[in-house]
Structure 1
Amino acid sequence: MLNFQKRIVITGGPGSGKSTLIDALTQRGYLCSVEAGRSIIQDQISIGGNALPWGDRIAFSELMLCWEIRSWHAANGCHELCFFDRGIPDVAGYLSLCRFPVPAHVEKAINNFRYAGTVFIAPPWKEIYVQDSERKQSIEEAEQTYWTLSKTYQAYGYQLIEIPRIPADERADFIISQVSQKDFQ
């Protein structure tokens, strides 16, 4: 089974360049997960479903949880670095942001399916922030999401490294150099 230290989360608010960074890591040959939220929104819209952040938020959070657990399991057997575009604690952050309690089964999933102890977090970045059909939040909501996720990951025992606001290839270099250090956990 894969050592959990090789499961590395990249999180942050919407529109902070996470998916572009994940794409840069994928192009370098690293195994990377796809973000749950955007994919779920696209699927729900295509089928006329209501498990959406502007619809049934609880159903949306449950689909995100299932997606993230599946992504965690998909990395089993991989002996290389695996990067995750968000992780299971993001579900708790989302629920907190929506002012919903975090159910016991989400807490249990966060504790059972651990990632590397250090998580990379992308800060809000007004210069690249763009709203679209799936990202309807304002930049202020994106900033609040960042702060909520920071608190959430720390509450679950993760240390955070903020990703600098630099081009995606340089961000990828930064992450790889951090992960390559002996004391990276």
Structure 2
Amino acid sequence: MSKRYIITGAPGTGKSSLLLQLQKEGIHCFSELSRKVIQHQQKLKGNKTPWGDILGFAELIYQKTIEELKSPVNEISFVDRGLADMTAYLTSQSYFIPGYLQHFPYKKYYKNTVFLLPPWKEIYVNDPQRPQTFKEAMQIHEHLIKTYKNLSFNIETLPKTTLTKRKEIILSLI
């Protein structure tokens, strides 16, 4: 089974745009599950969102991630956020970490190198699925670093530069 590379970062750091660039190179990429779940919850007028019922949201993300992890992947595949991002979001809001996240076999499904996009105020925008302030995004960023370090992942922080440069850096490192 091939493992996936994780592209992570706080909201509004350019993850989805970067994944689109990688897809243009013919690389298999999984889009962000969080955004899909939030959009579905908003359509249903549900509250299982990071700013509503975050524990219910975490459970939905876990279930959707398990489904996605059953999908076959190419030797090189990327995901827009790894499951460990949910741990970072929960700790950023001082919630307990459910056992299914604490004991998940991350290294079985994900490559050891995680690509981290830092907060970048100049490109940060809010939208209906991203209501966090830039200050909150900065806090999430710190929790992402701590979470991935605690899980013994190698974090490669990408510079604030063009999508093309970011893509080239990733391709040079894999």
Report the TM-score, using the length of structure 1 for normalisation.
0.89
Q: CA deviation at 1:111?
A: 4.1
Instruction: Check if 1:16 corresponds to 2:13.
Output: yes
Q: Deviations over 1:67-122 (max 9, x none)?
A: 22222222x3x342000101111111111112111111112224474311111000
* Partner SS for 1:119: strand
SS of 1:173's partner is helix
Match of 2:27 among 30, 39, 45: 30
Deviations along 1:18-54, one digit per CA (max 9) or x if unpaired, are 0100111111111101101111110111112111122
1:182 corresponding residue in structure 2: none
Question: Is 1:69 equivalent to 2:35 in the alignment?
Answer: no
Residue 2 of structure 2 corresponds to 3
Instruction: Output the aligned Cα RMSD.
Output: 1.4
Identity %: 36
Contact map agreement 2:2 2:75 (CA 8 A) in 1: no
Give the match's secondary structure for 1:54. Answer: coil
> How many residues get paired?
174
Structure 1's unaligned 5+ residue stretches are 180-185
1:108 counterpart letter in structure 2: H
Which residue of structure 2 aligns with residue 183 of structure 1?
none
The question of whether the paired residues in 1 share the 8 Å contact of 2:119 and 2:141 is answered with yes
After TM superposition, the score normalised by the length of structure 2 is 0.94
Q: Displacement, 1:66?
A: 1.7
Instruction: Choose the corresponding residue for 1:127, options 101, 122, 142.
Output: 122
Contact 1:69 1:88 in 2 (8 A): no
Unaligned runs of 5+ in 2: none
Q: How does 1:128-147 map to 2 (within 5 A)?
A: 128-147=123-142
Once the two structures are TM-superposed, the CA of residue 3 in structure 1 deviates from its matched residue by 3.2
1:97 aligns with 2:88: no
> Which residue of structure 2 aligns with residue 173 of structure 1?
168
Please state if 1:60 is matched with 2:35.
no
1:3 is matched by which residue type in structure 2? Answer: S
Residue 107 of structure 1: aligned partner:
102
